[in-house]
Amino acid sequence: MARRSAPLLRRLVSASSPPAPQPLPGLARRTVTYMPRPGDGAPRAVTLIPGDGIGPLVTGAVRQVMEAMHAPVYFETYDVHGDMPTVPPAVIDSIRRNKVCIKGGLATPVGGGVSSLNMQLRKELDLYASLVHCSNLPGLPTRHQGVDIVVIRENTEGEYSGLEHEVVPGVVESLKVITKFCSERIAKYAFEYAYLNNRKKVTAVHKANIMKLADGLFLESCREVASKYPGIQYNEMIVDNCSMQLVSKPEQFDVMVTPNLYGNLVANTAAGIVGGTGIMPGGNVGQDYAVFEQGASAGNVGNENIVEQKKANPVALLLSSAMMLRHLQFPSFADRLETAVKRVVAEGTYRTKDLGGSSTTQEVTDAVIASLD
The last residue of one of the domains, among 274, 302, 320, is 274
Q: Tell me, what amino acid is at 36? A: P
Q: Report yes or no on 295 lying in a domain.
A: yes
287 plus 318 within the same structural domain: yes
For residues 153 and 251, state if they share a domain. yes
- Does residue 23 form part of some domain? no
pLDDT tens-digit readout, 312-357: 999 999 999 999 999 999 999 999 999 999 999 999 999 999 999 9
Instruction: Round to whole Å and give the CA distance between 150 and 204.
Output: 12
Residue 342 contacts by C-beta under 8 Å, 6 or more apart in sequence?
137, 138
Domain residue limits at 227: 143-163+172-274
Q: Total domain count for the chain? A: 2
Say what the pTM is.
0.88
Same domain, 246 and 148: yes
pLDDT of residue 27: 46
CATH code for the domain in which residue 196 is found:
3.40.718.10
123 located within any domain: yes
Last residue of one domain, picked from the residues 274, 295, 310: 274
d(CA 203, CA 219): 11
Torsion 134-139-140-143 (CA) sign: positive
Residue 3 lies in a domain: no
Give first-to-last CA distance, the chain, whole Å. 64
* pLDDT at residue 111, rounded to an integer: 65
- Is 4 contained in some domain? no
Instruction: Say whether both 268 and 284 belong to one domain.
Output: no
Which residues in the chain land under pLDDT 50?
Answer: 1-10, 12-17, 24, 26-27
Residue 34 lies in a domain: no
Quick check: is 339 in a domain? yes
| Cβ partners under 8 Å of residue 278, min gap 6 | 294, 299, 312, 313, 315, 316, 352, 354, 355
Question: Same domain, yes or no, for 263 and 323?
Answer: no
Question: Could you tell me if 270 and 286 lie in one domain?
Answer: no
Residue 24: inside a domain: no
Asked if residue 262 and residue 149 are part of one domain, the reply reads yes
Contact between 275 and 242 (Cβ < 8 Å): no
Which residue, 227, 250, 274, sits at the end of a domain? 274
